[in-house]
A and B are shown apart, each in its own frame.
Chain A
């Protein structure tokens, strides 16, 4: 009977080897992914009991952990929750984290590999691990100006503002309305947290999405900047070149005609490109789109950042020229695309990138919100270097576009953005989605004063204002102006 017993011993050995290997797989190989699972209470409890690092704007915390005296030891606090909710996101026991609380979690919670040495020191010293801090590029005055501007539109209005430093790509303001108070989701009173969450989820205005980076809407006439850039590059036009205008654009064999907003004729059948942009002539840009062609126009949009999400650390959607890359546009559709309708849709961040590339002499910079990341001992772990994505337009074309945008403010639809003592260029936009909903009002502009520069995009989605009164210039222009003013006054 000894042979079977020996076989049995080998069989039992195999069983135990299988158990040992499986335990290694579970606790070593698979451990990280299990720890990262949503709703893993052990990891959440441990993290929640940690001294989480702060998120700072201009040296002041917009998210910080303070001793709480309860079982979690620390409470996450957002001193001006509604003002910065887009950026901080929430840090909730039940619902996890979002926005920077999510993307910067490694640093904030102290588990990032760059903090490894700190962790070992903490372990040896038997101290609780501490999180590092994250400093943002944002400008408090600009953010406040943006938020106040949106609030002044009334409680029913939805909208978003983005301001960029054209030279570096640094995000100076990023506001949205409606917003929410992340303090309510970070509460240790869990039933109250659940209630607040459910109320936010039930709100049909989606207060928790970041309208500046997530909501893609038809950019309307602000997209004429892209069409103009494509035309100047591909057709060798300059601001003084004569282009087709008039009251309508017709297409061979089709009864559809593209007309101007308000039914005018843009001041003649042939006007200068500069004039066409200043009065936002649909006929001109519809015809230019046709002359440039779909491929060149789409390529110009791509060079300005369409089709890709360049922002790191925040949830964002890519803007699009057509809803799927392979689409072949008919002539009327291409003309409509040229004036920012049909399937063209963009985030406010995207339109701010278009303007900032123009203001920056044609160079498109990668937008970013995190400027410096520090260890708990305040030593700098990482600081973001400006990154040039590429040349959106040549410097000549950029100069021409700047000149035309300045003219649009001086004597055109964008007059509401003028700031005395500064060079300001802008472009309005009014885009239609469906006939039963109010159109979107857009405004994008740049301002230069001395060595200070700023580019802004504003969108107002809907208000209870009567339809004819909605135009980018009247609703969105003043907001853009006050944000630019705030940056220039700094």
Chain B
């Protein structure tokens, strides 16, 4: 490493706020969201939903307020992230509302509906977003709480396993129940882990970067440095064994390995991580019936149509959608179980078609790309690692869930960020965006003027506000 830990290399960059560009994109996002809602109403019953105006008004107000707060408290923040996230959240809401209508039509007024709850969660998510933006005025302060976040992550992971509050739903023990609310602590653990990993690795990276043996042109780490990665591997396996949550297990471990690689610049860690992943995956395949079911359902879903009903219906839906989709409100996404959460990507593919699904994937791609860009231009190692970690966690999560639904890889249960129904997911992902915006605001603003000091008391000046 040529640069010290506190100050990382930054490509040449001209600071610009671009807040008006953001406003323009937000207007577009609001138009798409309200348009999708109206399209659902027209598709299902031939008329614009009666509450479209109220809802539309609320969306406009919330979007504008959010934009103004960002303008005030993070003026240099990335201008693309917020509009994309609003678009995805809006499309998700419209789709959940659309599936609600189908359920109401089928089961009468007693049917479970999710759109209004999702709307409340979205409002809370935006409140959380603003809160994070206001409370965390400099992301580097999080670094001082590295181990606190590590502990928080551990507690969050253990919570669902506790009796009384822990809940077993669909075979996975990832839920806790607090009064009327059900939460998935794993979604929040993701953020705490990202902060912990970033804080831990930015300090330990020099030691972990020491190479041991060189095999096939790759420097492999020393044996005694394997401690941390083995610990992360065991925790991930613990998540798989005790919570039976394939997706989160993969996500946590992937996140750690990737950050280890970024921190040490040693591709050897990817080799070690990959080997551990393959070993763990093979162990899981041999040991757990539910993993075998998933793998078999991926290889040949039509061999057991009853057991693979969900994935088959998801595939049928997307195939029926074809290039341009059935149109919002005009397909039958409700046939697929969990079409409003885990399988919302399939619902989008059915009603918005290949074109719509590709647009959604590209939006996720943009989020990830902006996140990694923030990591590139960030001036401090901790921020770099945190931004990269958050971006990669979104990329992995989208790949795992959308890849599972479209039968690219075996199906694992994970939410689709911002689209899926689920309070924890919405809250956590809005918080992630707030953190990314905070880091980007730090990174994109003009570098503080460095005052020339005397040799003796020369030190670095860092603007904290």
Binding site for B on A (CB under 8 A): 1-9, 12-13, 15-16, 18-20, 22-24, 26-28, 30-32, 34-35, 37, 39-43, 45-46
Contacts and interface: CB of A to CB of B under 8 A. Distances in A.
A27 B395 contact: no
Contacts of A46: 320
Contacts of A15: 395-396, 399
A93 to B, nearest CB: 14
Given A1-B263, A41-B335, A35 B319 contact: yes
Contacts of A1: 8-9, 262-263, 265, 381, 384-385
Contacts of B357: 23, 27
B368 interface: yes
A8 B319 contact: no
Given A5-B372, A23-B358, A35-B320, A16 B349 contact: no
Given A35-B319, A41-B332, A9 B372 contact: yes
B54 to A, nearest CB: 29
Contact of B376 (A5, A40, A45): A5
Contacts of A7: 267
Nearest to B396: A15
A328 B305 CA distance: 46
Contacts of B60: none
A345 B335 CA distance: 48
Interface of B: 8-9, 11, 258, 261-263, 265, 267, 302, 305, 315-323, 331-332, 335, 349-350, 353-354, 357-358, 361-362, 364-365, 368-369, 372, 375-376, 381, 384-385, 388, 391-392, 395-396, 398-399, 402-403, 406-408
B399 A31 contact: no
Contact of B319 (A2, A22, A24, A31): A31
Contact of A30 (B302, B319, B332, B376): B319
A19 B406 contact: yes
A28 B406 contact: no
Nearest to B377: A2
A37 B321 CA distance: 15
Contact of A19 (B11, B315, B361, B376): B361
Contacts of B263: 1
Given A24-B354, A43-B320, A12 B372 contact: yes
B364 A16 contact: yes
A32 B396 CA distance: 30
A46 B362 CA distance: 30
A34 B388 contact: no
A1 B384 CA distance: 8
A4 B269 CA distance: 12
A10 to B, nearest CB: 10
Given A12-B392, A23-B354, A28-B354, A42 B317 contact: yes
Contacts of A42: 316-317, 320, 331-332, 335, 350
A31 B322 contact: yes
B334 to A, nearest CB: 11
16 contacts: A3-B265, A5-B372, A8-B262, A12-B365, A12-B391, A12-B392, A12-B395, A15-B399, A16-B362, A19-B399, A22-B407, A27-B318, A31-B320, A37-B316, A40-B316, A42-B332
B369 A23 contact: no
Contact of B258 (A8, A26, A39, A43): A8
A88 B358 CA distance: 43
B375 A34 contact: no
A157 to B, nearest CB: 40
- In this complex, the member of B9, B375, B391 whose beta carbon has the largest number of chain A beta carbons within 10 angstroms is B375
Contact of A8 (B318, B392, B407): B392
A7 B317 CA distance: 35
A35 B331 CA distance: 14
Contacts of B403: 18-19, 22
Contacts of A45: 332
A27 B365 CA distance: 20
A19 B372 contact: no
A37 B302 contact: yes
Contacts of B322: 27-28, 31
A34 to B, nearest CB: 4
- In this complex, the member of B316, B335, B349, B350 whose beta carbon has the largest number of chain A beta carbons within 10 angstroms is B316
B369 A9 contact: yes
Contacts of B316: 34-35, 37, 40-43
